[in-house]
């Protein structure tokens, strides 16, 4: 997935009210950017951190700048939670996810159940339907220099637990359901659920897996021009 061009580099002053970030650009200009990430962004909100923002061409937008990347732990981290769905869709269309091969059609943002909208729906006359939910991952709390552990969620997510329940209900109807954790960083080789942060989500996911929910984890390759799906990551259930 190509990132918007150009990206403007700066230093984070502060992130606040979840969706706002004050940044001092390299030009010396101070701006307030939209932060498209509702999570806590633990370890990614340190004042002085190097960041990159895009600028919308829409002259009527209240906040023209959007926070895209942060430099943390010696590498780039994607913080825009709007991107993972696009990254996964491109990977499916490029035949990079073997578990999701062979479907004739792909639709996005499809309403289902009474409460949810699935990120991707794959359909095929022979294979049937496959419901794909994509979760953005950026949390890393261990201090190893490499081969770290990525975690999800970084805050309590009742909505996330509901999504798992709805995906599991699809399995009971004879469909396939897949939950993809996309790690927008390059320094992790394992992934686990942050049980201490949201024990209900952990329990709900394990129950979903017992009922046939398939879990896939991938990291990403991140540059200042694009973000793409990279390697399969080990899912640690304990």
Asked if residue 238 has pLDDT above 90, the reply is no
Tokens 């309590």, residue located: 156
pLDDT in tens, 62-116: 999 999 999 998 899 999 999 999 999 999 999 999 999 999 999 999 998 777 7
- Sign of the alpha-carbon dihedral angle for 51, 41, 193, 1: negative
CA gap 91, 185 in Å, rounded: 17
Measured CA to CA, the distance from residue 198 to residue 156 in angstroms comes to: 5
The stretch 9-35 carries a mean pLDDT of 97
Ramachandran region of residue 128, left (φ > 0), alpha (ψ -120 to 50) or beta? left
Q: What is the pTM of this model?
A: 0.95
Q: What is the mean pLDDT of residues 196-211?
A: 97
DSSP three-state, residue 217: strand
Please, what are the domains in the chain? 8-78 (2.40.50.580), 84-236 (3.40.1350.60)
* pLDDT of res. 112: 85
DSSP-assigned letter for residue 63: S
Summary mean pLDDT of the chain: 95
pLDDT tens track for 27-47: 999 999 999 999 999 999 999
**Alpha helices in 61-194, H assignment, sequence order:** 84-93, 158-172
3-state secondary structure of 1: coil
Per-residue pLDDT for 210 more than 80?
yes
Quick one: CA dihedral 42, 44, 45, 46, positive or negative? positive
pLDDT of residue 35: 97
* Per-residue pLDDT tens over the stretch 111-167: 987 777 899 999 999 999 999 999 999 999 987 777 799 999 999 999 999 999 999
| Residue 212 binned pLDDT confidence (cut-offs 50, 70, 90) | very high
């Amino acid at each position: 997935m190509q990132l918007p061009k150009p990206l403007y580099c700066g230093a984070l002053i502060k992130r606040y009210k979840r969706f706002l970030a004050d940044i001092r650009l390299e030009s010396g200009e101070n701006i307030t950017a939209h932060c498209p990430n509702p999570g806590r962004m633990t370890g990614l909100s340190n004042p002085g951190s190097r960041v990159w923002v895009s600028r919308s061409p829409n002259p009527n937008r209240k906040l023209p700048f959007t926070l895209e990347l942060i430099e943390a732990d010696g590498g780039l981290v994607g913080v825009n939670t709007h991107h993972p769905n696009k990254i996964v869709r491109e990977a499916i269309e490029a035949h990079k996810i073997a578990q999701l091969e062979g479907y004739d059609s792909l639709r996005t943002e499809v309403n289902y159940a009474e409460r949810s909208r699935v990120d991707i729906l794959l359909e095929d006359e022979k294979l049937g339907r496959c419901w794909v939910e994509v979760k953005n991952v950026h949390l890393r709390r261990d201090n190893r220099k490499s081969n770290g552990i990525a975690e999800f969620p970084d805050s309590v997510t009742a909505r996330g637990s509901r999504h798992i329940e709805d995906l599991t209900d699809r399995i009971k109807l004879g469909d396939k359901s897949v939950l993809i954790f996309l790690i927008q960083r390059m320094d992790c080789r394992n992934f686990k659920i942050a049980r201490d942060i949201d024990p209900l989500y952990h329990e709900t996911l394990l129950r979903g897996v017992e009922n046939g929910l398939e879990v896939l984890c991938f990291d990403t390759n991140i540059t200042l021009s694009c973000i793409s799906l990279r390697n399969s990551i080990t899912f640690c259930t304990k």
